[in-house]
């Protein structure tokens, strides 16, 4: 080399070449997340509740030969029913019961994680499924159930837990973020009234899963099975997962039928199931298996509310009382819809506390037996010189006028026999008309 300048030029070129080779090598490796620390991992693993001993004894354990994917689900049920189904089995349309083992992990609304099945075994969680030409995704994946509904927000605590869990599993199996998919992405269905051939959209669960909140990179930029022609695209899911701009179904209207949000878009293959309930704006209630004969799918009105997995709860839905009760199956969303977070939706907790919807950060974590009324103002306190009549006028004994007694008893006006016996301090709530 004739000069120091030539030497430095040669040295810098070698540095660029070496750096380029290293970068090219790293591009071919899985991209592991550094979003969570080892301390996060250890703390989370210690907190997992082990339910493996509760698994249905008739479930046959089969070791998984390979692990290519992690599939995220929303359970479409409350916690207790989710646990019961994944552990003990679910009822099929033909009336038969499965033997359980329907996921590896369940994550509750408060972030608590339950181990249902050892991760080395196959779990029957994805059903009829396909990804990149490979079918029966259950045999090559791990399933995670997030307690809740695909038409309602996933809680922040769930996002943290599922993010850490995915991070741990990625390290164990050498998976990158593209290996994390939702059930609605991989499930497919046979031809039906909406599609002439095999198609996406059989399941809608976890279509509300926002990857960034679990510290995951974006998903695939396309559906490989749709691109290849193996499946037809579902328009709504295509917008959510592969649209040019970030898109998520508006949660406030996601289970309400409109021109762009059909029964299929909301319920998928369960649109005509007897466990799917349709609440018409008129107040009439129908199950999915009644619509075709009694109404006709083309005549289901806009603003109809769709509720999933309501097998044993139809009588409660039909109960015509302004006082509703939250249970494992019914959330505030079930009764109030998008009004769940308004000041005019009032919650009466089992502890005796009263909360307005606008003051609740996570409505789906309200305890069972919480009661609520929707579209009310108040409270107005009853005194000796301030009678129910003075507060509510002629509506004081109407069924829509609600009384909350100091004993925590909640009564509609038409259920009170003697208003003179109402104790001082009783609170009155009036319809917000």
Evaluate if residue 120 carries a pLDDT over 50.
yes
Instruction: Indicate whether 205 and 62 sit together in one domain.
Output: yes
Tell me, yes or no, whether 331 lies in a domain.
no
- 155 and 187 share one domain: yes
Q: Per the domain annotation, does 68 fall within a domain? A: yes
**Residue with the larger pLDDT of the pair 31 and 360:** 360
402 within 8 A of 429, measured Cβ to Cβ? yes
Which of 318, 340, 361 finishes a domain? 318
More confident residue, 369 or 328: 369
72 within a domain of the structure (yes/no): yes
Q: Give me the pLDDT at residue 205, please.
A: 93
Same domain assignment for residues 122 and 205: yes
pLDDT score, position 429: 97
The pLDDT assigned to 340 comes to 83
Question: Which of the listed ranges 23-32, 113-122, 295-304 does the model predict with the highest average pLDDT?
Answer: 113-122
Asked if residue 327 belongs to a domain, the reply is no
What is the average pLDDT value for the chain, to the nearest integer?
87
Average pLDDT over residues 286-290: 89
- pLDDT grade, residue 257 (50/70/90)? very high
The domain total for the chain is 2
Domain co-membership, 243 together with 292: no
318, 336, 361 - which closes a domain: 318
Q: According to DSSP H, which parts of 139-213 are helical? A: 156-173, 183-186
418 inside domain: no
For residues 24-43, give the mean pLDDT: 67
- Report the 3 state secondary structure along the chain: CCCHHHHHHHHHHHHHHHHHHHHHHHHCCCCCCCCCCHHHHHHHHHHCEECHHHCCCCCCCCECCCCCEEEEEECCECHHHHHHHHHHCCECCCCCECCCCCCCEEECCCCCEEECCCCCECCCCCCCEEECCEECHHHHEEEEEECECCCCCCCHHHHHHHHHHHHHHHHHHCCCHHHEEEHHHHEEECCCCCCCCCEECCCCCCCCCCHHHHCCCCCCCCCHHHHCCCCECCHHHHHHHHCCCCCCCCHHHCCECCCCCCHHHHHHHHCCCCCCEEECCCCCEEEHHHHHHHCCHHHCCCCCEEECCCCCCHHHHHCCCCCEECCCCCCHHHHHHHHHHCCCEEEECCCCCEEEHHHCCCHHHCCCCCEEEECEEEEEECECCECHHHHHHHHHHCCCCEEECCCCCEEEHHHCCCHHHCCCCCEEEEECC
pLDDT, average across residues 405-424: 93
Q: 13-17, 146-150, 335-339 — which one is most confidently predicted on average?
A: 146-150
pLDDT confidence tier of residue 167, bands split at 50, 70 and 90: very high
Contact criterion met (CB below 8 Å) for 182 and 240: no
Q: What domain range is 311 assigned to? A: 266-318
Q: Are residues 98 and 125 in the same domain?
A: yes
Statement: residue 108 has pLDDT above 60:
yes
Q: Which domain CATH number covers 136?
A: 3.40.80.10
Confidence of residue 26 (pLDDT cuts 50, 70, 90): very low
Domain end call among 253, 276, 302: 253
Please provide residue 209's backbone torsions phi and psi, each rounded to the nearest 5 degrees.
-75, 115
Non-local CB neighbours of 124 within 8 Å, separated by 6+ positions: 98, 101, 102, 138
Give yes or no for residue 338 having a pLDDT over 80.
Answer: no
**Is the per-residue pLDDT at 27 higher than 50?**
no
Q: CB under 8 Å to 67, separation ≥6 — which residues?
A: 140, 141, 142, 173, 175
Tell whether 346 is covered by a domain: no
Residue 283 contacts residue 310 (beta carbons within 8 Å): no
DSSP string, 289-312: HHHHHHT-GGGPPTT-EEE---TT
Are 74 and 205 members of one domain?
yes
Sequence-distant (6+) residues with CB within 8 A of 204 are 150, 151, 184, 237, 265, 266, 267, 268
Residues 80 and 170 in one domain: yes
73 and 222 inside one domain: yes
Residue 178 in any domain: the answer is: yes
Given a contact cutoff of 8 angstroms between Cβ atoms, the answer to whether 415 and 386 are in contact is no
Amino acid 252: pLDDT:
54
Residues 211 and 273 in one domain: no
Instruction: Based on the fold, state whether residues 240 and 272 are members of the same structural domain.
Output: no
Task: Tell whether 115 is covered by a domain.
Answer: yes
If asked whether residues 237 and 274 sit together in one domain, one would say no
Q: Is there a single domain that holds both residue 57 and residue 199? A: yes
**Residue labelled with tokens 């430095």:** 8
Lowest mean pLDDT, pick from 4-18, 87-101, 178-192: 4-18
């Amino acid at each position: 080399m004739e000069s120091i300048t030539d030497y430095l030029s040669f040295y810098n070129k070698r540095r660029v070449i070496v750096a380029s080779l290293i970068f090219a090598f790293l591009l071919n490796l899985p991209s592991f997340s550094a979003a969570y620390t080892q301390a996060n991992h250890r703390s989370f693993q210690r907190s997992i509740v082990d339910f493996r001993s509760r698994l249905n004894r008739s479930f046959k354990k089969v070791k998984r030969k390979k692990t290519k994917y992690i599939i995220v689900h929303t359970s479409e049920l409350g916690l207790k029913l989710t646990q019961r189904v994944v552990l003990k089995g679910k009822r099929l349309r033909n009336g038969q019961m499965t033997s359980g083992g329907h996921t590896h992990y369940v994550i509750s609304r408060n972030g608590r994680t339950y181990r249902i099945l050892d991760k080395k075994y196959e779990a029957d969680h994805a059903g009829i499924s396909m990804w990149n030409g490979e079918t029966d995704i259950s045999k090559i994946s791990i399933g995670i159930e997030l307690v809740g509904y695909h038409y309602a927000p996933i809680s922040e605590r769930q996002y943290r837990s599922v993010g850490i869990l995915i991070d741990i599993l990625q390290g164990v199996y050498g998976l990158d973020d593209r290996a994390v998919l939702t059930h609605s992405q991989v499930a497919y269905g046979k031809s039906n009234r909406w599609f002439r051939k095999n198609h996406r959209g059989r399941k809608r669960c976890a279509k509300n899963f926002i990857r960034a909140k679990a510290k995951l990179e974006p998903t695939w930029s396309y559906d490989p099975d749709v691109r290849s022609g193996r499946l037809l695209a579902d328009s709504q899911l295509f917008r959510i997962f592969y649209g040019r701009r970030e898109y998520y179904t508006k949660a406030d209207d996601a289970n309400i039928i409109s021109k762009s949000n059909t029964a299929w878009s909301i319920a998928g293959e369960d649109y005509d199931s007897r466990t799917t309930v349709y609440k018409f704006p008129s107040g009439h209630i129908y199950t999915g298996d009644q619509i075709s004969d009694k109404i006709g799918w083309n005549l289901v009105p806009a603003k109809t509310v769709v509720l999933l997995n309501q097998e044993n709860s139809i009588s409660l839905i039909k109960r015509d009382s302004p006082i509703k009760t939250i249970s494992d199956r019914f959330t505030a969303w079930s009764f109030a819809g998008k009004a769940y977070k308004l000041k005019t939706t009032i919650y009466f907790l089992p502890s005796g506390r009263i909360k307005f919807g606008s003051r609740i950060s996570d409505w789906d974590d309200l305890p069972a037996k919480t009661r609520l009324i929707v579209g009310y103002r108040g409270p107005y306190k009853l005194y000796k010189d301030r009678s129910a009549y003075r507060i509510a006028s002629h509506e004081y004994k109407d069924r829509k006028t609600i009384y909350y007694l100091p004993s925590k008893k909640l009564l509609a006006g038409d259920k009170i026999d003697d208003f003179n016996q109402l104790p001082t301090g009783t609170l009155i709530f009036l319809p917000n008309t």
